[in-house]
Structure 1
Amino acid sequence: MTATAPSNISGGARHVLGLSGGKDSSALAIYMRDRVPEMEYFFCDTGAELPETYDYLNLLEAALGKGIVRLNASRDFDHWMEVYQGTLPSPQMRWCTKNLKIKPLEEWLGEEPAISYVAIRSDENRLGYVSTKPNIKAVFPFREDGIDREGVNRILDEAGTGLPAYYEWRTRSGCYFCFFQRKHEWVGLADRHPDLFQRAVEYEEKVRYQHTAMQGRDYTWSQGESLHELLARRGEIEAKHEAALERAAKRSRPNLPLIEVLSDALDEDEDSAACVVCHL
């Protein structure tokens, strides 16, 4: 491996790697398993993860031969929603990212010097979350070692973990009600986890009817419409998705994994790109 720790981190620094439940961070954990034996793995648990995410984390623990620290045990999404007086997080106000991802990590590390391993691939042009605290420095092993999307898939296949099950219908990890979900992914949630879809609906209704400060305001998970309205359009959404899949398949090279075709098709949706803290 060519990736090295920053020179301004003194000896004895903690080595940490955050897992989102997604393929890139999972592949990086396996990639670093024997390269940095003292690595500490952590997962910021929002209390609103998909069952498939928890199942996959258990699989990863077996592959890594080491436990994954779960943060946020006492301050989950519901706690912070009350703090923010029932305001749903949104692309414009990502209080979930701040309070459920960034703050728990920085509190867990404290003021100790630490090296954070970030799962940005060599074929990506972005940075992901990099702490502004001077004691936390980031390194990018995949970028430095030239590991791209195909390399990530190969690491997971060779480790026997494969991809998380939610990739059959969703291309991102994160909360089941994440506001960055595309329309068709909301339909997928309704089909595969109707109980979780109903909980997401109840959050919308709670904001509208129970929180005094929010009464009369239309805060919704999917921009422009409530989940009830979205599901009422499922025929239209599914037809659009099927057409996008066909176009993506024609653009794709032969034997491309289904997840890549699905991702290409869903990228045609009008929703914004996901938060890089959550979905790696």
Structure 2
Amino acid sequence: MHDVINKHDKIALQFSGGKDSLALLYLMREHWPKLTVYWTDTGDAFPETRELVDKVEAMVPNLVRVNGNQPEVIRVYGIPSDIVPAANTPIGIASRGYGVLMQDRYSCCMRSLMFPMQERMMADGITLVIRGQKNSDKLRSPIKSGHVEDGIEYLFPLEDWDDSDVFNYLTEEEVEHPRFYDHMSASPDCMTCSAYWEDGRGAYLKQFHPEAYQEYQSRLNAISDATQDAIAHFNVEIGE
């Protein structure tokens, strides 16, 4: 790991505010002077995440806040959903003349989060990206540590860790973490994201952020109404 870092002058550590990126940040403590921490502000970040980023910014020599603008992405491409009926795609709405525009969860993340960060890192001339990706993650990029693409090398120091390793490390290092680590199964990038239904967002928002919870539920209600016909037709087909 040290040999890889020493080969590069323009190094990015991707920080989301989640447990993996927080553990990674502390693991890379001795290299802080040489790297830049990148965080994408989606425009819908949790206050807890903003507070954590403020603390990180006060600790590290270099932190870049990338503008992601999730509200504009949703305005143009629709609300994210884990089920997107054909009738709620741009073509479906154009053919019917009405409907709630939707996009899949990953497209929204790419547009709101990942593309803006990648573009900024490319503009800054980054040649090494350090990320808290683990082999045990259900959602991860297909590349492995050491992969090189378009002149950028990728380093995943936590690749062989699992969630228990991460939490144990944070405990051993006495690192304070946002309270949503203890309530949600994944660390959220956007408060009102209407996808990722398995994360436990609704209960957390209802308890700690009631105003955001109302917007979240409004989007879920729109998804529920829009998907009823598609689900009904699907149930008929699988019952044949």
1:155 alignment counterpart? 169
From 74, 79, 98, the equivalent of 1:88 is 79
The 3 A distance-change label for structure 1 pair 128 and 173 is same
CA positional deviation for 1:171: 2.2
1:61 alignment counterpart? 57
Q: Aligned partners of 1:44, 1:88: CA distance in 2, in Å? A: 19
Q: Aligned partners of 1:60, 1:22: CA distance in 2, in Å? A: 13
For 1:194, give the aligned amino acid.
P
CA positional deviation for 1:200: 2.0
CA positional deviation for 1:40: 0.6
Gaps of 5+ in 2: 85-103, 232-240
Greater fraction strand: 2
The 3 A distance-change label for structure 1 pair 99 and 42 is same
From 174, 185, 197, the equivalent of 2:213 is 197
Please say if residues 3 and 141 of structure 1, whose CA atoms lie closer than 8 Å, have aligned partners that are also in contact: no
1:262 alignment counterpart? none
Classify the secondary structure of the residue corresponding to 1:34.
helix
**Aligned-pair Cα RMSD in Å:** 3.4
1:99 and 2:94 equivalent?
A: no
For 2:74, give the aligned amino acid.
M
The 3 A distance-change label for structure 1 pair 65 and 48 is same
2:203 alignment counterpart? 187
For 1:187, give the aligned amino acid.
A
Classify the secondary structure of the residue corresponding to 1:120.
coil
Q: Aligned partners of 1:77, 1:193: CA distance in 2, in Å? A: 19
1:79 and 2:72 equivalent?
A: yes
CA positional deviation for 1:28: 0.3
Matching of residues 1-280 of structure 1 within 5 Å: 1=1, 4=4, 12-35=8-31, 37-62=33-58, 64-72=59-67, 76-84=69-77, 87-91=78-82, 93=104, 94-110=106-122, 112-121=125-134, 127-128=140-141, 134-143=150-159, 147-174=161-188, 175-178=190-193, 179-182=195-198, 184-203=200-219, 218=226
1:204-236 superposed Cα distances (whole Å, 9 cap, x missing partner) = 67x78xxxxxxxx7279xxx8xxxxxxxxxxxx
Please say if residues 42 and 69 of structure 2, whose CA atoms lie closer than 8 Å, have aligned partners that are also in contact: yes
For these two proteins, the number of residue pairs brought into alignment is 202
Aligned-pair identity (%) = 23
Gaps of 5+ in 1: 209-216, 225-280
Q: TM-score, normalised by structure 1?
A: 0.60
Greater fraction helix: 2
Q: Aligned partners of 1:137, 1:114: CA distance in 2, in Å? A: 6
Q: Aligned partners of 1:3, 1:127: CA distance in 2, in Å? A: 25
